[in-house]
Structure 1
Amino acid sequence: MSGSTITPWVVGNWKMNPMQADAQQLIQNFKGLLDITPIESAKCHIGVAPVTLALTTVQSVLSDSNREIYTVAQDVSRIAGTGAYTGEVSAELLKDSQIDYVLVGHSERREIFGETAQILNEKIKNALNAGLTVIYCVGESLEQRESGQAEQVVLQQICDIATVVEAEQWHNIVIAYEPIWAIGTGKTASPDDAQTMHAQIREGLSQITAYGKSMAILYGGSVKPENAVELAACSDINGALVGGASLNAESFHKIALAFANTK
């Protein structure tokens, strides 16, 4: 089932980078590139996910851009509202600061910080109920891929959230497929392999929600300018969740251009 008519997304996940001054310079450089070679909002959604400390600063620096660029939170608390929860940032607090997008389920959160399906469900439920759009990350390990379990693992991760997502809330979810073995390694799934998985994800989504055919499914895992055009040409790949390459304004701009011009 083709998703080629879906407006693509290109989102830069900065992870625990960079320092504040460098973050502001990165944004200014990216805005400058957009002034020279604009990318229409209608052709590609663009977002950046800085560290929590920098969310409102980056949002402010982006406010005078020649097009909308979304500010995306890298995480959200499993606790809703406000209260005595030291160190937590709830979905409601993000929304109050006009942060409307959040990553949930990134493999680093699952593996390093032990976030289980139950924890992720709590985060997703809170985020959606607060009116946020969730970029939900799924992906398999190298061992799971080599043992032939990749599709099963990824589709199970999608089924995991079906118990907490209301029918009308699927419209506020973007899926990001990131094979764990390709994150930060320089390795990338071949376009054929990535397209095959994206098509399976779309088929799985279509069995769960009426929005399945129209949901954006992004690819992540060592996305860079050199492979962006080929990935963008795949019918069910509707954008990219970009890691290291998003810390370079020129590289990030080229990736966004690739998806804007190919889709």
Structure 2
Amino acid sequence: MSGSTITPWVVGNWKMNPLQADAGALLKNFKQLLNEQNIAEAACHIGVAPTAIALTTVQNELAQASRHIMTVAQDVSRVAGTGAYTGELSAELLKDYGVEFVLIGHSERREIFADQPHIINEKVKNALNAGLTVIYCVGESLEQRESGQAEQVVLQQICDIAAVVQAEQWKQIVVAYEPIWAIGTGKTASPEDAQAMHAKIREGLSQITPMGLHTAILYGGSVKPENAVELAACPDINGALVGGASLNAESFYKIAQAFANTK
């Protein structure tokens, strides 16, 4: 089943980068590239996921761009609402500040910060109930891939959230497949391997919800301008979650341009 008619998404995950002055320069350069040659909103959704401390600053800067660019939170609290939870940032607070998109389940959150499935489910539930769109990250380790468990692991991660996503909420889900062994390593899955996994994800989603045919499935893992065109040509790869390359305005622009022009 192909998702080739889905408008692609290209989202830059800045992770714990950059410093304030560098962020300002990055946004200025990216907005200038769009001014010189715009990428139509209908051709590609574009988003940026800065650090929590920079969310509103980045949001204000992006409001001055020649087209809409989403501001995306990198994570959200497992606690809903407001209250005495020092250091937490709830879905309701994000929504109140106009941030309507959030990454949940990134492998770095799972591995480094022990976000187990039940914690991720709480985050997903809170985000959806607050009206946010969730970019839900899945992916396998090199060991799991080499032992033939890649599809099983990824499909289980998809099934994990099914218990907390209401039927009408699946339209608020975007999936990002990031093979852990390709994140920040310079390695990337071949377009054929990536497409095969994306097709499996779409098949799995379609068994859970009719929205599976229409869900955007992004690829992440050392996406760069040099491989973006090939990845964009795959029918079930509906965009990219971009790490390191999103910290360079020209590289990020070229990746967005590749998906806008190919789809």
TM-score calculated relative to the size of structure 1: 1.00
Counterpart for residue 26 of structure 1: 26
Point out where structure 1 has 5 or more consecutive residues left out of the alignment: none
- Post-superposition offset of 1:37: 1.3
Counterpart for residue 231 of structure 1: 231
Amino acid at match of 1:227: N
Look up the SS of the partner of 2:79 in the other structure: coil
After superposition, residues 1-263 of structure 1 pair within 5 angstroms as 1-263=1-263
Look up the SS of the partner of 2:72 in the other structure: strand
Look up the SS of the partner of 1:240 in the other structure: strand
Look up the SS of the partner of 1:120 in the other structure: helix
**CA offset digits 1:141-184 (Å, max 9, x no partner):** 00000000000000000000000000000000000000000000
Looking at structure 2, the residues matched to 83 and 58 of structure 1 have their Cα atoms a distance apart, in angstroms, of 26
Looking at structure 2, the residues matched to 30 and 169 of structure 1 have their Cα atoms a distance apart, in angstroms, of 32
Looking at structure 2, the residues matched to 25 and 101 of structure 1 have their Cα atoms a distance apart, in angstroms, of 23
Q: Identity of counterpart residues, as a percentage?
A: 79
Looking at structure 1, the residues matched to 22 and 90 of structure 2 have their Cα atoms a distance apart, in angstroms, of 27
Report how many aligned residue pairs link the two structures: 263
- Post-superposition offset of 1:25: 1.2
Amino acid at match of 1:189: A
Amino acid at match of 1:206: S
TM-score calculated relative to the size of structure 2: 1.00
- Post-superposition offset of 1:112: 0.2
**CA offset digits 1:67-95 (Å, max 9, x no partner):** 00000000000000000000000000000
Looking at structure 1, the residues matched to 23 and 91 of structure 2 have their Cα atoms a distance apart, in angstroms, of 23
- Post-superposition offset of 1:21: 1.6
Look up the SS of the partner of 1:211 in the other structure: helix
- The list of structure 1 runs, each at least 4 consecutive aligned residues, that deviate by more than 6 angstroms after superposition, is none
- Post-superposition offset of 1:118: 0.1
Looking at structure 2, the residues matched to 163 and 238 of structure 1 have their Cα atoms a distance apart, in angstroms, of 25
After superposition, the CA RMSD in angstroms is: 0.3
Looking at structure 1, the residues matched to 25 and 94 of structure 2 have their Cα atoms a distance apart, in angstroms, of 24
